[in-house]
Amino acid sequence: MKASGGEAVRSLARRRAARIRRWGVPQAVRVRRLAARLGLGRVPPILAGTAMVLAPLGFAALAFASGFVLLWTLTAPVPAERFGEAAGLLPVAAINASHFFSSLTGVLLLLVASSLRRRSRSAWLVTLVLLGIAAGLNLTRGGPWQPSALLLAVGAALFAARGAFYRKGGLGSGLSEPVWLLAAILAFAIFVWLGLIVFRATPYSDDLWWRFVLEGGAPSRFLRAAAGGAIVLTFVMSWRFLAPQAMPEAAAPPDAARLEAALADGDMGHADANLAWLQDKHLLFSESGRSFLQYGVRGRRMVVMGAPYGLWSELPQLLRDARDRADRHGMSLCFYSVGPALLPALIELGLVIQKIGEAAILPLEDFSLEGSHRQPLRQSRRRAQKEGLSFRIAPKEEVPGLLPRLEAISDDWLSRHEGEEKGFSLGRFDPDYLSRFPMALVEGADGPVAFANIWTTAGQRELSADLMRFSEGSPRGVMDYLFTELAFWGQAQGYRLLDLGMAPLSGLEEDRLAPLMSQVGAFAYSRGGRFYGFHGLRIYKEKFAPVWEPLYLAAPTRLGLPFALADVALMTSGGVRGVIGRP
């Protein structure tokens, strides 16, 4: 009973910690303590969490409003007595300069507000500095004390909510949002329009730019302030739009010992977890190191490839860690090619699900070539044996010595298919990568004519062929023969399933009530054979009479689904050229 009671306490503590993380409130306790000091009593965690969640948007609006108010005050004439007080402390040039720099500060507050909404730590710090500078400039130019007090109050509140701004960098990321940019341009245009109305009685002359006086110098100060703000606005926008986009950070080589240990254990995941050895994706391990997921980065999207691998008991925390990592970097979290078992957990993360195809799964326990539906496989097997071909599994220790001959077969296959090596969701001919797996070989009198490296999972749950290549002179149906013999080999070794791979866009609904993306996918499946053999690939795998398992794509919004799918295509094919290249 004591052990179970202790476990219950630990479980409750984990749930509470997860609730705080789910709300993104690492500083929720500080909110409650502050409320207690102010005599507001105990604040429920849900309210503290809600405050922290809404803080970025609220302070973004306050920063934007502060910038606009600061610009608006520059159009208001300053009474002579206030100028006299300022002139007693500062030279005339400093008072005129404060007007100019107030305009620059106001424009910067308009621009930085969008990054503040993205929880950028850098934007938080810059906003604090700008608010302090704006408050001081307002006083030095003889403005009323109320705007300065308001700016300092906003800064104090922003400092108290510092826990809500935790993402590294991202100062310029918010400038890519058209709504905030248009709002900043509109606010500055209103400032200029108001100034032109206020000083419409003053005729324009070149002397206005060089008049540094207090009495009667308001039109000159406004003109210089408007010009300075316009220059800053133009410069920042030009920098944002014309600067080249930074490439995603390259994935670090995996810790081989840690990855091997994780792949050798676990009761969750599929054979495609071995794609982690490609070194083109980032790896996220659980705290114990026994579970992991792999993801690629493109633009502002973090795309997890396949299902996580490891222990089912660690899945919820691993998914939360992935969501937190995406959130901390201001990225959209997506999952590509996941099966039905993962859908409840993804829905709990708030993701939208879309079917993208089906995987051909061949149960091996009762696999045989009996029956009319497997007659094509029997014919291919007899033809291969008649041609003098044989099948064997080369252990991975033997693979490095076979690679020169296999590379010639691979190059021949690539030249005939007008293709290039892939990545992300597909294996490629890489010596270091292929040397980690056993190799299925079809050999003739002169050596190998076809090959495929073999993925396996812990507990002999599943095996799959990854990179499949055959030479031009190999007999017809040689890959049928390879898969058939691989199925018999897996059956003899005690494997339960053979994954024959995905049939993209297979099984999508085309009726008028289906989601739009399903209708488009079904149309491409039935009529896109000119560009890719969707239907032919399904027919090829049907001869094995597999069980078809649906595969899904998950993204934060339905609008983001096609963009996530496009990013997967670009990462898999190595860019636009690889996508449009005809297979």
What does the domain layout of the chain look like in residue ranges?
Answer: 2-242, 358-547
Residue type, 399: V
Confidence class for position 172, pLDDT limits 50, 70, 90:
low
Confidence class for position 170, pLDDT limits 50, 70, 90:
low
Backbone phi and psi for residue 361, each to the nearest 5 degrees, phi listed first: -110, 125
Residues in the chain: 583
How many Cα atoms occupy the beta-carbon half-sphere of 546 within 13 Å? 26
Q: According to the model, what pLDDT value does residue 362 have?
A: 94
Report percent pLDDT > 90 for the chain.
31
Q: Is the pLDDT assigned to residue 26 strictly greater than 80?
A: no
pLDDT digits (tens, 9 = 90+) for 94-152: 677 777 888 888 888 888 888 888 788 888 889 999 999 988 887 777 667 778 888 89
Sign of CA dihedral 549, 554, 559, 562: negative
Provide mean pLDDT across the span 54-80: 80
Q: Which uninterrupted H or E stretch holds 329?
A: none
Tokens of 582: 């005809």
Confidence class for position 530, pLDDT limits 50, 70, 90:
very low
Sheet holding 292-298, edge to edge: 282-285, 292-298, 301-305, 332-338, 547-555, 352-363, 497-504, 462-470, 447-456, 439-444, 390-394
Tokens of 157: 């509140």
Q: Is the pLDDT assigned to residue 299 strictly greater than 90?
A: no
Q: Do 373 and 365 form a contact (C-beta atoms < 8 A)?
A: no
The chain-wide mean pLDDT, for the chain, equals 79
Sign of CA dihedral 491, 497, 503, 507: positive
Q: Do 396 and 436 form a contact (C-beta atoms < 8 A)?
A: yes
Which of 345, 335, 356 minimizes the C-alpha distance to 551? 356
Tokens of 181: 């940019």
Q: Which residues fall within 8 angstroms of residue 214, CB to CB, at 6 or more apart?
A: 83, 87, 92, 95
C-alpha 200/C-alpha 65 separation (Å) is: 26
Q: According to the model, what pLDDT value does residue 94 have?
A: 67
Which of 327, 356, 338, 376 minimizes the C-alpha distance to 164? 327
Q: Is the pLDDT assigned to residue 247 strictly greater than 50?
A: no
Confidence class for position 53, pLDDT limits 50, 70, 90:
low
Confidence class for position 528, pLDDT limits 50, 70, 90:
very low
Q: According to the model, what pLDDT value does residue 48 have?
A: 55
pTM: 0.67
Domain spanning 358-547: which CATH class is it, in words? alpha beta
Provide mean pLDDT across the span 289-302: 90
Tokens of 88: 């007693």
Q: Specify the range with the lowest mean pLDDT, choosing from 12-16, 53-57, 300-304, 392-396.
A: 12-16
> SS3 for 166?
coil
Q: Specify the range with the lowest mean pLDDT, choosing from 111-115, 162-166, 170-174, 522-526.
A: 522-526
Q: Which residues fall within 8 angstroms of residue 132, CB to CB, at 6 or more apart?
A: 151, 152, 155
Q: Is the pLDDT assigned to residue 80 strictly greater than 60?
A: no
- The strand pairing partners of 362, in sequence order, are 498
Which of 365, 353, 25, 41 minimizes the C-alpha distance to 166? 25
Q: Do 339 and 308 form a contact (C-beta atoms < 8 A)?
A: no
Confidence class for position 242, pLDDT limits 50, 70, 90:
low
C-alpha 154/C-alpha 143 separation (Å) is: 18
Backbone phi and psi for residue 213, each to the nearest 5 degrees, phi listed first: -125, 165
Confidence class for position 549, pLDDT limits 50, 70, 90:
very high
276 burial (CB, 10 Å; 0-12 / 13-18 / 19+) is buried
Provide mean pLDDT across the span 408-436: 86
Q: Is the pLDDT assigned to residue 290 strictly greater than 90?
A: yes
More confident residue, 113 or 237: 113
Q: According to the model, what pLDDT value does residue 77 have?
A: 67
Tokens of 281: 């994706």
C-alpha 402/C-alpha 430 separation (Å) is: 13
More confident residue, 299 or 267: 267
Which 8-state DSSP code applies to residue 422? -
Q: According to the model, what pLDDT value does residue 254 have?
A: 78
C-alpha 534/C-alpha 505 separation (Å) is: 7
Q: According to the model, what pLDDT value does residue 15 have?
A: 53
Q: Choose from 413-417, 452-456, 531-535 the range with maximum mean pLDDT.
A: 452-456
Q: According to the model, what pLDDT value does residue 573 have?
A: 77
Confidence class for position 37, pLDDT limits 50, 70, 90:
very low
pLDDT digits (tens, 9 = 90+) for 175-228: 666 777 888 889 888 888 888 888 777 777 766 666 655 555 667 777 888 888
Q: According to the model, what pLDDT value does residue 42 have?
A: 54
Q: According to the model, what pLDDT value does residue 295 have?
A: 93
